[in-house]
């Protein structure tokens, strides 16, 4: 047993539907521009050859255990955007995972928000700078309760929706992802050693827009997963 000079940070984790044990979050991977309609609204080319990945720190998670969450409006932005995304949670990892067996490593699915400081992202893009300040800030990764594959299987079609104050802002279907779940895992595992506890945010459909303090967000992955958040 190591001794530490101060208490290590708490392990970020998510609730699991139908059980008391929690899912310990290891890393958070995100794919950009995985829905053609969103790539177009951002003025980006729709690329089907090579996926574009970025990451968030594990402690960016804000876990909605089923009762709703408060999410702090981050500093240094005037344009905080919502992006509703299906989350894939991994129970097994590895390197160079074949597309054909990639789904075997999936623990379950959920819904989350890839919160984005869009003004900082636009400035970073203009200068060719990295996206960390735009994407990987504190509390930038709200996430729902996870539903295990044993319960839900591997969803192929499911509505992905986001309402703000009762008005629909985003409505897509996971069937429209450019890179499907198996392809994302396959491609990620060429670049990183995937591990149990990794989460993948799988991209957002069109309709991303700005949030303000007091906004109430309802994000849904069909009937499978729900996340309710208030920006405070």
Q: Which residues would be at the binding site for Mn ion (CB under 5 A)?
A: 83, 114, 204
Question: 31 or 102, CB closer to Mn ion?
Answer: 31
**Smallest separation, CB 54 to Mn ion (Å):** 9
Distance CA 77, CA 58 (A): 22
Give dist(CA 179, CA 51) in Å, integer. Answer: 7
Q: Do 204 and 94 touch, CB atoms closer than 8 A?
A: no
| CA–CA distances in Å: residue 90 to residues 25, 165, 200 | 9, 32, 8
- Taking the least distance from each CB to Mn ion, the nearer of 121 and 148 is 121
Q: What is the nearest approach in angstroms of Mn ion to the Cβ of residue 33? A: 8
In terms of CB distance, is 64 or 83 closer to Mn ion? Answer: 83
Sorted by sequence, the CB contacts under 8 Å of residue 20 that are 6+ apart come out as none
Q: Chain centroid to CA 159: how far?
A: 16
Closest to Mn ion by CB, 19 or 130: 130
- Written as six digits, the tokens of 91 are 């129970």
Whether 144 contacts 13, CB under 8 Å: no
Nearer to Mn ion, 16 or 141 (CB): 141
Measured from the CB of residue 30, what is the shortest distance to Mn ion in angstroms? 6
End-to-end Cα spacing for the chain: 40
CB nearer to Mn ion: pick between 121 and 204? 204
Smallest gap, in angstroms, from Cβ of residue 5 to Mn ion? 37
To Mn ion, the closest distance from the beta carbon of 151 in angstroms equals: 26
Residue 98 C-beta: closest distance to Mn ion, Å: 26
Residue of minimal CB distance from Mn ion? 114
Based on CB atoms, which residue is closest to Mn ion, 64 or 85? 85
* C-alpha angle 41-51-54 in degrees, rounded to nearest 5: 85
Short-list 219, 29, 212, 25, CA closest to 229? 219
Return d(Cα 73, Cα 93) in angstroms, integer. Answer: 33
CB of 203 to Mn ion, least distance (A): 6
């Amino acid at each position: 047993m190591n001794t530490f000079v101060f208490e290590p940070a708490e392990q970020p984790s998510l609730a699991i539907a139908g059980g008391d044990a929690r899912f310990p979050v290891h890393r958070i991977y995100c794919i950009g521009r995985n829905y053609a309609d969103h790539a177009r609204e951002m003025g980006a080319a729709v690329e089907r050859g090579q996926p574009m990945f970025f990451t968030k720190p594990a402690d960016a998670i804000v876990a909605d255990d089923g009762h709703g969450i408060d999410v702090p409006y981050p500093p240094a932005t005037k344009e905080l955007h919502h992006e509703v995304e299906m989350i894939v949670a991994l129970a097994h990892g590895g390197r160079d995972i074949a597309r054909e067996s990639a789904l075997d490593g999936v623990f379950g699915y959920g819904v989350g928000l890839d919160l984005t400081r869009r003004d900082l992202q636009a400035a970073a893009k203009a200068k060719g700078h990295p996206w960390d300040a735009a994407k990987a800030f504190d509390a930038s990764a709200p996430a729902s309760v996870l539903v295990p594959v044993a319960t839900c299987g591997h969803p192929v079609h499911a509505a992905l929706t986001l309402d703000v104050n009762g008005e629909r802002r985003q409505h897509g279907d996971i069937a429209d992802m450019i890179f499907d779940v198996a392809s994302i895992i396959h491609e990620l595992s060429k670049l990183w050693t995937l591990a149990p506890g990794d989460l993948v945010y799988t991209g957002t459909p069109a309709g991303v827009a700005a949030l303000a303090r007091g906004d109430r967000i309802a994000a849904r992955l069909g009937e499978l997963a729900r996340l309710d958040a208030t920006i405070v």
